[in-house]
Structure 1
């Protein structure tokens, strides 16, 4: 009986721990397909001289520059809860050849030092080597290589460079042209370890590997 009484608090603590695990936000969004092999652009390459790499022909078309309303955000979580954040400085463009969205190219650059979150202490930690390592990786970039029409919208494939690691990713998105404005919205998850962000967190409050990424891009036609 004494042995049972000693085990009871341990069992109770374990039950409370598992019952208290917070929901994983990544479970509510589609997971991006990730490949360590960079995706090739769907534009033809120029002829290269021997010993030189072929360079992709620059995309020509109508250029829409990101406006102030553009947002890139994220949601990270651990077993006890989640945190939301984003970046205050995002620059880029959407180039649409022949007014065909399937041929469009999204080119995005994020100033990683502009990161913010819902907790001041966390914001500082995100800039450190444990996460984004901003001192050595001041920017993150994404450039689409193909856009495919689907029943639900579009599938966007491109190369995401984060913390010095480049992977090809594919994710669903909503893309529309409204007058002189192109709008792109996407919400999907990636595994942070694919981009060499491997910090585990505290033993009793482990950080989940899945992170939700949010794109809300508004781009305005350039004269």
Structure 2
């Protein structure tokens, strides 16, 4: 009995030590823009978690992983939301989560950074590159950025939806992540 408790305690300590900064969900947003029939459209995910350790003074030490509950997608209405969850799009029955894991962050100057990482959706992983800004606002660190991607690289919109005249291939993931706590603790 004592051994499982010790292991659980060690695991909890390790997880807590790795989660130096805490996401403030009510101030954060994870969304995307796309074009449908040449009309710009927006969507977002209501539920996601983020384990981030980022110090703007030492971007090379950054660690981050964002896990998205793909069933929490909102593209503006119940019909679109239901369609986005189907097999041709996110296939949330078989692939309920999407992940982004940072591999490197490089300072570009002026509070701007280049982010590189691996995005996995529907079991397909691709390297992606984006840019973000980091601003300290009181006790909070605000990270805002964008990552362009091609939806067909992740088989988002299979079959009839693969027609890029209906829904463009280009999608831009946009985020605002508000963090509290200090990096590296």
Is the Cα contact below 8 Å between 1:156 and 1:172 reproduced in 2?
yes
* 2:126 aligned partner: 167
RMSD (Å) for aligned C-alpha atoms: 2.7
CA spacing shift, 1:207–1:61, aligned 2, 3 Å: closer
Q: Which runs of 4+ in 1 moved over 6 A?
A: none
TM-score normalised according to structure 2 size:
0.78
The 5 A counterparts of 1:212-223 are 212-221=172-181
1:62 positional shift: 7.3
* 1:104 aligned partner: 62
SS in structure 2 at match of 1:107: strand
The 5 A counterparts of 1:1-223 are 63-68=20-25, 69-96=27-54, 100-151=58-109, 153-199=112-158, 200-201=160-161, 206-221=166-181
SS in structure 2 at match of 1:201: helix
Cα separation, 2, equivalents of 1:203 and 1:210: 12
Aligned residues: 165
- Bigger Rg, structure 1 or 2: 1
- Greater mean alpha carbon deviation, residues 180-189 or residues 193-202: 193-202
Segments of 5+ residues of structure 1 without an aligned counterpart are 1-57
Cα separation, 1, equivalents of 2:165 and 2:81: 18
Cα separation, 2, equivalents of 1:67 and 1:80: 34
Cα separation, 1, equivalents of 2:154 and 2:179: 27
Q: Deviations over 1:149-185 (max 9, x none)?
A: 1135100011111121111111111123444322211
Cα separation, 1, equivalents of 2:162 and 2:106: 41
Segments of 5+ residues of structure 2 without an aligned counterpart are 1-14
Is the Cα contact below 8 Å between 2:114 and 2:129 reproduced in 1?
yes
1:96 positional shift: 3.5
Is the Cα contact below 8 Å between 1:94 and 1:182 reproduced in 2?
no
SS in structure 2 at match of 1:206: coil
- Greater mean alpha carbon deviation, residues 149-158 or residues 97-106: 97-106
